[in-house]
Amino acid sequence: MATKRLSKLLGHLNKDEEDEKVLENNECGARGSSSSSLTVTDNRTGKTLDIEIADGVVNAKEFSKLRLPNANIGLRVYDPGYTNTAAATSRITYIDGP
């Protein structure tokens, strides 16, 4: 079991050209004000927000800028089971991922 996990970990740590191509495609294929951003429109208020995409990741805290008038707290992102959440930027974040 430990050998299998170590092997998978080392596989993620080794820089792979294929990984770089995937990151490039994710960043270049995004729509918005630039090729490395995500544009979100809040249909409740009509407010549009551009969120930077860095290394294929967006900062969930940015969504808190979307709030209803007179609201103290903005929109929050819920990820049940933490199935698509990274606690840190790391090449090994997805070691147990899909």
Dump pLDDT digits (tens) for 50-87: 999 988 889 999 999 999 999 999 999 999 988 888 77
Specify the pLDDT at position 21: 59
Buried b (16+ CB within 10 A) or exposed e, 41-54: ebeeeeeebebebe
Q: Tokens 């996990």 sit at which residue?
A: 5
Hey, what are 25's tokens?
């495609």
Q: Which residues pair with 52 in a beta bridge?
A: 37
